[in-house]
Amino acid sequence: MSREEQIINERLKKIKELRDKGINPYPYKYEFKDYSADLHEKYKKLKPEEKLKAKAKIAGRLMSVRDIGKIIFAVIQDTKGKIQIVLQDKETSEKEIEIFKNNLDIGDFIGVEGIIFKTKKGELSILVKNLEVLSKSILPLPEKWHGLKDKEERYRKRYLDLIMNPEIREVFNKREKIIDAIREFLKKKGFNEVDTPYLQTIYGGASAKPFKTHLNALDIELFLAISPELYLKRLIVGGYDKVFTIARNFRNEGIDRWHNPEFTMMEIYQAYADYTDMMKLFEEIYEYVAKKINKSTKIVFRGKEIDFKTPWKRITMSDVIKKFADIEVDKMNVSELDKFCKQKNIKYKEKNWGWIVQAIFEETCEDKIIQPTFIIDHPLETTPLCKMHRYDKLRRLIERFEPFCMGTELGNAYSELNDPIIQRKLLEEQQKMLNKGDEEANPLDEDFINCIETGMPPTGGIGLGIDRMIMLLTGQDSIRDVLLFPFMKPESSEKSDDKFEPLEVEED
């Protein structure tokens, strides 16, 4: 029998003993009135060995115990922090001391009521007068310093990570504040927040492979949303001038530091605006949120200082390629570009000017863009939903930008295509590509084309990666560090060795 199995059996026995004593180890509720952090703040001026008449009533998880005979020191952890409790002979009832010693373990939830005081060493504590068992744990917690070190295990068992490393909760508190700040900024600008479907009969709005599912009620195939774009444009056609949504997107593609199959994206659409307006809006959002959350536009990420102060640098894709790859793609034909790619071993999606230029940019430039920068004026072939560039006589460019920082894309934006004739042609071409096996091409959406045919005003649109923004503003190295429940490969069904040492009572 393993040590963990022994602990489980001992705890099951203690549950039975509690029931035999007429104590419910899983009561329905507990009316506490205090939080640990509030008590520390309220009584921070209390002197060592000073005892008050004031009582506190608190609930939390038992995290450590030190039993030295006639006095027991323990620490309980609640949602705001930790506080020491003390059970002492002649101060705490014999019954409650006996229950604590014989029936409680680290990991159990308890409620205590008692007198506030400070120990000789100046530790704010609660001298226990009443104790209640609130939830008896069966599985042991991992030992603090040797147990939950494996990051994979921390992501997979986030509940243990939050218990043993409560400081990581600050990242997720900041995540909530960041999203609140984005909403606050956009609502001040007059934008309406809306919802769009996650289950769609026809997907679109991005170059991505979707997840498929099936609706039994109608016996039809459905797709999880890869983007809310086409629905938001329907709202612009319907009369909304400014809309945004913060939505889950689902893309059946790779998993790495910056990618998770399920992620959070914000999309924004504004009537009577173009991509230059969207650039200004994008950088203003980042500046506003950075100041709101970190009190500064500057952050340090992977050892580099980044400044989100507006205005951000703007550079065309052809100019940034000239800077880093030392070639002038706007003066090169397909054969010349193809020759360059073969020399550099660069693979591209299709043999045309646009996709080759896009591939050269991705391979030679992206990872070198450190400070916030707008890469503007992309090749026509890279999206079917964007307007042609108004000043490009060769008709090879579109009014699209992608903001980059620390070598990764932070979003995507266009002067949105609102010509229904061109839109139909481009989506018909996408459908042909899809039929030929391009899993990232968009299907033809007749209703969306009908919508545009109804008339859509000039419109600017933005897609902003929420998770990546949170990574940067909280200094987290992986997207999995800013998702409470990142996608994880299922564990093997084979029984594995214990992954952590159990946390047990400390004894002198």
SS3 of residue 86 by DSSP = strand
CATH code of the domain covering residue 94: 2.40.50.140
CA 4 to chain centre: 33
**Entry pTM:** 0.91
Count how many domains the chain has: 2
Nearest to 415 by CA among 291, 233, 264: 233
Per residue in 19-63, pLDDT tens? 999 999 999 999 999 999 999 999 999 999 999 988 999 999 999
User: By the 8 A CB rule, do 23 and 114 touch?
Assistant: no
Tell me, yes or no, whether 285 and 239 share the same domain.
Answer: yes
Per residue in 352-398, pLDDT tens? 999 999 999 999 999 999 999 999 999 999 999 999 999 999 999 99
Rounded to an integer, what distance in angstroms lies between the CA atom of residue 161 and that of residue 152? 11
Q: Residue 339: which residues within 8 A CB-CB, separation 6 or more? A: none
Tell me, yes or no, whether 123 and 245 share the same domain.
Answer: no
Rounded to an integer, what distance in angstroms lies between the CA atom of residue 65 and that of residue 101? 10
Domain assignment of residue 195, yes or no: yes
Find the mean pLDDT for residues 322-338: 97
- The answer, yes or no, to whether residue 131 has pLDDT greater than 60, is yes
Q: What confidence score (pLDDT) does residue 150 get? A: 73
Domain assignment of residue 365, yes or no: no
Tell me, yes or no, whether 11 and 126 share the same domain.
Answer: yes
Q: What confidence score (pLDDT) does residue 502 get? A: 60
Tell me, yes or no, whether 204 and 302 share the same domain.
Answer: yes
Domain assignment of residue 153, yes or no: no
Rg (CA), the chain: 29
Find the mean pLDDT for residues 430-455: 94
Per residue in 199-230, pLDDT tens? 999 999 999 999 999 999 999 999 999 999 99
Tell me, yes or no, whether 199 and 284 share the same domain.
Answer: yes
Question: For 289-319, b where at least 16 C-beta lie within 10 A, e where not — what string?
Answer: bbebbbeebebebeeeebebeeebebbbbbb
Q: What confidence score (pLDDT) does residue 507 get? A: 42
Tell me, yes or no, whether 235 and 303 share the same domain.
Answer: yes
Tell me, yes or no, whether 104 and 185 share the same domain.
Answer: no
Percent of the chain with pLDDT strictly greater than 90? 91
Rounded to an integer, what distance in angstroms lies between the CA atom of residue 486 and that of residue 150? 15
Rounded to an integer, what distance in angstroms lies between the CA atom of residue 109 and that of residue 25? 10
SS3 of residue 41 by DSSP = helix
* DSSP code for 167: G
Per residue in 82-113, pLDDT tens? 999 999 999 999 999 999 999 999 999 999 99
What value does the mean pLDDT of the chain take? 94
Tell me, yes or no, whether 298 and 445 share the same domain.
Answer: yes
Neighbours of 383 (CB within 10 A): 20
Q: What confidence score (pLDDT) does residue 504 get? A: 53
